[in-house]
A and B are shown apart, each in its own frame.
Chain A
Amino acid sequence: MNVEVKERVLGELEKIVGNENVTASRPDLYNYSQDMTENESAWPDFVVMPDGVEEVQEVLRLANREKIAVIPYTYGDNVGGLTIPLKGGIILDLKRMNRMIEFNEEDRYIVVEPGFNFGDLRRLFREKYPDLWYSFAGAPATTSLASNALLNGFGRLTNIVGTNADNVNGIEVVLPTGEVVKIGSCSVTSSWCNRPPLPDLIGLFLGWQGTTGVVTKISLQIWPRYPFKQTRVIVITGIRPACTLAHKLGQTRICEIVECWSYEQAEPDENTIKSFQSEEERQLRVYNPDEDNNSATYDRPPGPDKLGLVLKVAADSEDELKAKQALLDAYIKMELKDMPFEELPKSLGPPEEEDLPATGQTPMGGLTWVGTMGPTSRWGEALEKIYPIYDKYRLRRAAIIVPFRGGHYGMLRLVAQFYKGNPDEVSRVKKCMQEIMNVALDHGFVPYKAPYWAVQEMMRRGDPNWVELLVRVKRMLDPNNIMNPGRYGDIRGKSLRVE
């Protein structure tokens, strides 16, 4: 963008949102040029913080007229490089739009603006609605409810309610051309209560990574918070038995949460094991890895894989809890038969009521993943192919699998932490993630919060008619391709600039 245009656009943006809420200064732009992942940085030209639908409309109309890219942004913690402005343009930082529009206790939904975050909702529950809950992700408290839902994020009620995208009742969206549209029951009534039975236009905005419009209000479903809860952690040796048990338990719907995590820590040697004073100490040492914080490079010693299954049972009464635990025990016994497993003491498990933030512990500065969703029956088969890829790139095997909606589908997430100060490690992580994504796709798992290179790969290998439909939808809504270009529906790819 030449200096003259930039100055003119800056002046117009200042008129729309006020001087204080627009910036083109280098330290600000640099801040929005990257995220925690290994994805390459790209600088925006402006960062703009609107407050209200009208300001969003004005910014989009200006961007359309000038054909400048616009990237909707809330807190930037998506772990997919999704707000890195591949073609420069305007970062539309929506933090100031953080109001709660409605909390409907009777019909159990909440309508919020995109800046309203998990912390805001946790606070609201604590102060006013102790019997209600949301499917909170294991993410920082600043995570936007709207972004999390729109990007198919999931939370800790997922085995019951699915991803948070499954629980969107309605949205208000500003189209790239500036019109405001309401979708869901709110489009024909005054209620934000439901999404069916209308033709489901919400699909034009869910999972599109901000490439089709800017969502300015969202209605999301709220769930009961059960008074009796118990969390157990079972460590199973072997990929197949662990994945099969997670798959089967997901289908039973006994647990609110079924999460299966890799434990990638070499067993201590025999002498060290003898030195442990108690079984609990042994488990503490084995399952709380004391890792090197300067390097994620890891040469895996030979040996079986260990996977930990986190199982949370929730109930309305103590009797119900006991009955569910008994059922859970029976299932575990039936599925694992003579397979080796051990149950960790309570002190090593997660807290009963998870406190945010639950993640963010990335002491090397780098965190990335290939997050995918697909058939829970194929977890084991896929993981057996994926784990050797970690070994090839000398990285620690790390996977999380989670069933959604009673196991009808589920997540397979392959994670890598890395030290950002080591270019060789960053390069290996990048190659490893790309290879893993291909194997995941081969096994029926589709990337979510997919970085641009994963989107391109899906559009390359996907049904051409599906790709054509994506492109047509995108062009219909965004004729000048201003919304987060280089991602879904943009077949011109990263190299083509919006001019």
Chain B
Amino acid sequence: MDVPDVVKEWNIRCAQCGDCRISAAIFLPSCPPGTRFKFSSYYATGRMLIGRGIQEGVLTLEDDDVLERLYTCTVCRSCDENCTNLIGGHIVDVIESLRQMAVSAGCTLPAHQIMIESLKKNDNVLERPKEERGAWSEGLNLKNLSEDGIDVAFRAGCLLSLEPEIRGPALAALKLLRTAGVDVGIEGKDEACCGGRAYEIGQVAEFTKYAEHNIDAYNNAGVSKVVLCCADGLSHLKLLYPKLNIKMNFEVLHLVEYLDRLIQEGNIKFTREVPMKVTYHDPCHLGRYAGIYDAPRNILHRIPGIELVEMERRREHSWCCGAGGGVKQAYSEFSLWTAEERIKEAKGTGATALVTSCPWCERNFKEAIKEHGEDIEVYDIAEIAAQAVQ
């Protein structure tokens, strides 16, 4: 189905009932932009209607605020989770299709244009020189995928590779994998962006270019598995890449899935105590997108000393961190507001640390904490788990 067909097929079916605005089971707000800005056009129903208006020629992509309404969505899929009408995640499909229409029509946000230019020039959306990409792994004595016979590729992704403050999870993940005896290698400086953020902002051609490159690279390396710490990257590789119908000779796993498997197989044990009261944030791309809720909790429950206290909005009802869908780059203030809402909820549990499994969430939480002067620690689950192994 091409882009206008997706829009036509699904937006006409939105009855504007409003089920998408609240998590049905717990009656708490679920849509960050709708909750923040409150006008109907900021909710999923509003964006569906904007699609209908564009389809019918009543609105145009050039109209004031149309792009702003389309791009303040973090594509967190809470609307899809709560919608009782369009079962199967079609709301975000429509929003992403509308963004693709906007890009085709030459309507892009300046902040996203910068991302795309960076992607084309540097193979990342973070405006970091390409040459810096491998710096995080220097001195770790890691195998490179160019070597023969490596079983598992660890994919760091843009953020873990290029943001020095967020490197911890990658280093911790490798410690865990090596402790478990996994034959692991990396691409290092040759690793390229997954292209997922480009897809989310409507730049499908860029996405396709990177997806094809990455599938080719992992197929050629002959790895059986690609493991990521990044929930965004996981969902893009696991759920978006297969839509290109290119054979992928490898399994895509998030670290928490793989670690849970390694624990069950007896390949790794948590023996050191990590005395900490934590709460766990389900990243949208790991939870609602990929359906992975139990693995991170299984891991936390197995770490001696960890007390896990849950937030009310958890698992499929998790509140978004605010970093996704290009919102962080284009609407930073709103992005941090969304993160701050989550931090307040985390603090309400009495936890001293907020644990997540995506560097995009981690970075946004840390920035919001700095901005608002909150007193709670933020960790990636890999960092906590790595403390528990000898």
Task: Report A's interface with B, CB cutoff 8 A.
Answer: 20, 23, 25-28, 30-32, 34-36, 47, 49, 75-77, 93, 95-96, 117, 119-120, 122-123, 140-143, 293, 355-357, 359-367, 419-421
Contacts and interface: CB of A to CB of B under 8 A. Distances in A.
Main secondary structure of the interface of B (DSSP, over half): loop
A43 B216 CA distance: 52
A123 B27 CA distance: 6
A49 B85 CA distance: 28
Given A25-B65, A140-B19, A30 B12 contact: no
Nearest to A420: B12
B65 A30 contact: no
Contacts of B46: 27, 31
Contacts of B86: 363
Given A31-B41, A120-B27, A26 B65 contact: yes
B53 A27 contact: yes
Contacts of B45: 31
Contacts of B15: 36, 360, 362, 365-367
A256 B22 CA distance: 27
B22 A142 contact: yes
B147 to A, nearest CB: 53
Given A26-B66, A141-B22, A359 B39 contact: no
B1 interface: no
B18 interface: yes
A362 B17 contact: yes
Contact of B84 (A26, A28, A31, A360): A360
Given A49-B38, A95-B38, A119-B27, A30 B17 contact: no
A25 B59 CA distance: 11
B21 A142 contact: yes
B58 interface: yes
B24 interface: yes
Nearest to B46: A31
Given A31-B40, A96-B38, A142-B22, A77 B65 contact: no
Given A119-B22, A361-B84, A362-B17, A76 B63 contact: no
A47 B38 CA distance: 11
A142 B40 CA distance: 12
Given A140-B19, A141-B22, A27 B65 contact: yes
B64 A26 contact: yes
A31 B49 CA distance: 6
B52 to A, nearest CB: 8
A284 B38 CA distance: 41
Nearest to A29: B41
Contact of B66 (A27, A35, A93, A355): A27
Contacts of A47: 39
Contacts of B65: 23, 25-28
B342 to A, nearest CB: 19
Nearest to B36: A20
B16 A36 contact: yes
A76 B24 contact: no
